A and B are shown apart, each in its own frame.
Chain A
Amino acid sequence: MSAVTAEHDHDDHHHDDHAHGPEKGWLRWVVTTNHKDIGTLYLVFALAMFFVGGTMAMIIRAELFEPGMQFVDPQFFNSMTTMHALVMVFGAVMPAFVGLANWMVPMMIGAPDMALPRMNNMSFWLLVAGILLLASTLFMEGGAPAGGWTLYPPLVLQTGKALPFAIFSVHLLGISSIMGAINIVATILNMRAPAMSLMKMPMFVWTWLITGFLLIAIMPVFAGAVTMLLTDKFFHTSFFDAAGGGDPVLYQHIFWFFGHPEVYVMILPTFGVASTIIPVFARKPLFGYSSMVYATAAIAFLAFIVWAHHMFTVGMPISGELYFMYATMLIAIPTGVKVFNWTATMWKGAMTFETPMLFSISFVVLFTLGGFTGLMMSIAPADFQYHDSYFIVAHFHYTLVPASIFMIMAAGYYWMPKWTGHMYNEKIGQLHFWLSAISVNILFFPQHFLGLAGMPRRIPDYAIQFSDWNMISSIGGFIFGASQLLFLYIVVDTIKGGTGEKVTDEVWEDAHKHGLEWTLPSPVPYHTFSTPPTVIPCDHD
Chain B
Amino acid sequence: MKKIKQLFAGAILTTLGLPIAKADYALNLMEGVTKVSNDIYDLHMLILWICVFIGVAVFGTIFYSIYHHRKSKGHEAAHFHEHTTVEIIWTIIPTIILVAMAIPATKTMLELDDVLESEMSIKVTGKQWYWDYQYLDSGVHFESHLDEMSEKSHRGNTIDPHTVPNYLLSVDRPLVIPINKKIRFVFTSADVIHSWWVPDLGWKKDANPGFINEAWTSVPTPGVYRGQCTELCGRDHGFMPIVVIAMNQGDYDNWVKTTLEKQNAKPDLSDQSHEQLMANGSSVYLKNCVACHQIDGKGVVGNYPALRGSAKVNGGVDPLIGFLQAGTSKMPAFAKLKDNELAAVITYIRNSPDIGNKVGDEIQPKAITPVYDDDE
What mask results when residues 11 to 24 of chain B are scored 1 for a CB within 8 Å of chain A, else 0?
Answer: 01100101000111
Q: Is A454 among interface residues, defined by CB-CB distance under 8 A?
A: yes
Complex CA gap A95/B336 in Å reads 52
Q: How far is the CB of B230 from chain A (nearest CB, A)?
A: 4
Contact with B along A423-462 (1 / 0, CB 8 A): 0000000000000000000000000010011101111111
Q: Is there contact, CB below 8 Å, between A68 and B77? A: no
Contact assessment for B90 and A336 in the assembled complex, using a CB-CB cutoff below 8 Å: yes
Inter-subunit contact A350/B153 (CB<8 Å): no
Tell me which of B23, B87, B230, B235 contacts A75 (CB under 8 A): B235
B322 at the interface (CB under 8 A from A): no
* Distance, CA A154 to CA B48, complexed state (A): 36
Contact A458 B237 (CB under 8 A): yes
Pick the contact of B69: A288, A325, A351, A368 (CB < 8 A).
Answer: A351
Contact of B12 among A456, A463, A472 (CB under 8 A): A472
B9, B36, B77, B83, most chain A CB atoms within 10 A: B77
**Interface size counted on chain A using CB atoms at 8 A:** 102
**Interface hit among B104-112, B273-281, B341-349, B350-358:** B104-112
CB of A286 closer than 8 Å to a CB of B? yes
Number of B interface residues at 8 Å Cβ cutoff, please give it. 105
Within B180-204, the residues touching A (CB, 8 Å) are 187, 191-193, 195, 197, 199, 202-204
User: What residue in chain B is nearest A249 (Cβ atoms)?
Assistant: B208
Contact present for B108 and A247 (CB under 8 Å): no
Of the residues A67, A351, A540, contact of B81 by C-beta under 8 Å = A540
- Which of the candidate stretches B94-102, B171-179, B251-259, B360-368 sits at the interface with the other chain? B94-102
Of A11-19, A202-210, A380-388, which stretch is located at the interface?
A380-388
In the complex with contacts A142-B303, A287-B82, A313-B203, A350-B75 CB distance below 8 A: yes
| Residue B262 interfacial (CB < 8 Å) | no
Q: Find the B residue at minimum CB distance from A466.
A: B24
Minimal beta-carbon separation of A341 from chain B (angstroms) = 8
B161→A68 contact, CB < 8 A: yes
B102: A residues at CB distance < 8 A: 325-326, 329
How many A-B residue pairs have C-beta atoms within 8 angstroms? Tell me.
Answer: 310
Given contacts A346-B62, A376-B48, A461-B168, A385 and B55 within 8 Å (CB-CB): no
Docked Cα-Cα span, A337 to B113, in Å, equals 34
- Among B38-46, B263-271, B307-315, the one that faces the other chain is B38-46
User: In the complex where A284-B79, A351-B65, A382-B47 touch, is A67 in contact with B108 (Cβ < 8 A)?
Assistant: no
Q: Which residues of A lie under 8 Å from residue B155 when comparing CB positions? A: 69
Partner of A155, one of B54, B95, B193: B193
- Tell which of B25-33, B117-125, B130-138, B282-290 binds the partner: B25-33
A349 and B78 contacting across the interface, CB-CB below 8 Å: yes
Apart from A78-B232, A78-B235, A147-B234, list 12 A-B contacts with CB within 8 A: A248-B210, A249-B208, A314-B208, A340-B58, A346-B66, A348-B80, A372-B54, A379-B47, A382-B40, A452-B30, A453-B30, A464-B162
Query: Interface on B for A, CB 8 Å cutoff?
Result: 9, 12-13, 16, 18, 22-30, 36-37, 39-40, 43-44, 47-48, 51, 54-55, 58-59, 61-62, 65-66, 69-72, 75-83, 86-87, 90-91, 94-95, 98, 101-102, 105-106, 108-110, 112-113, 153-155, 157, 160-162, 166-169, 187, 191-193, 195, 197, 199, 202-206, 208-211, 213-214, 227-239, 300, 302-303
What are 26 A-B pairs with beta-carbon distances under 8 A?
Answer: A1-B81, A141-B302, A147-B232, A155-B192, A242-B208, A242-B211, A248-B211, A289-B82, A313-B203, A313-B206, A318-B109, A329-B98, A347-B61, A350-B75, A353-B66, A382-B43, A385-B44, A388-B204, A449-B27, A453-B24, A461-B168, A463-B167, A464-B22, A464-B167, A468-B23, A472-B13
